[in-house]
Amino acid sequence: MLTKRIIPCLDIKNGRTVKGVNFVNLRDAGDPVELAKLYSENGADELVFLDISATEERRKTLTKLVHDVAEQINIPFTVGGGISSIEDVDMLLKNGADKVSINSSAVKRPDLIDELSNTYGNQCIVVAIDAKLIGDEWIVHLIGGKEPTSINLFDWAIEVEKRGAGEILFTSMNNDGSKEGFANNALARLSNCVNIPVIASGGAGNISHFIDVFKKGKADAALAASVFHFKEIGIKTLKKELRQQAISVRL
């Protein structure tokens, strides 16, 4: 049985870790380098770093900060934000990233997924999908959730797998920051649609939400931010509880 992964997420704006609710009302959550070191030491399986304003501000990811974080950790490290070319990925991998996450750039130019996967291997390519439930349909959004598309979440997920994505990071905009649980129905459907790992994001508020996302949502990994940043849930405590629920995790 593959172990389930617990992944803290560092959303970065102006060099600081931030966290909002439904993608807005951001508040400071601390120094990303210090947080990264803490998570690496306390049992996180991986770390995700998302430069959330890079695309909107039409600039590249903060490579020096990526390098500084990478120096402090010994777990797999995924970096996203403003990535639109092989050159961008080269720079991030040289500065310590193990994987890259692409989002808006992949929707605008789907061939980018093929290019990156063919160059680096699909294990290096995470496609992040931000989607919002509107009526009865999950709609993909771009530019940090600011720009709706006409694309259906599940159709897009199937396409990105065919193009060479190694993982999908699905964030429910409806659940983001709500602390009311993950979008488990959508996650379970997503997991049935694709054969690559699905990382769940958006809605973690307590340990039972993590139990549910693995049992009901069929997620391969659970990503969270504020519950870890503000020390509401300890990763070691969380993993012990998951083990007691017969969910396989690395202690």
* Active site (catalytic) residues: 11, 130
75, 25 contact by CB (below 8 A)? no
SS (H, E, C) 157-192: HHHHHHHCCCEEEEEECCCCCCCCCCCHHHHHHHHH
67, 28 contact by CB (below 8 A)? no
Q: Which residues of 15-28 are buried (b: 16+ CB within 10 A; e: fewer)?
A: eebbbbeebeebee
81, 106 contact by CB (below 8 A)? no
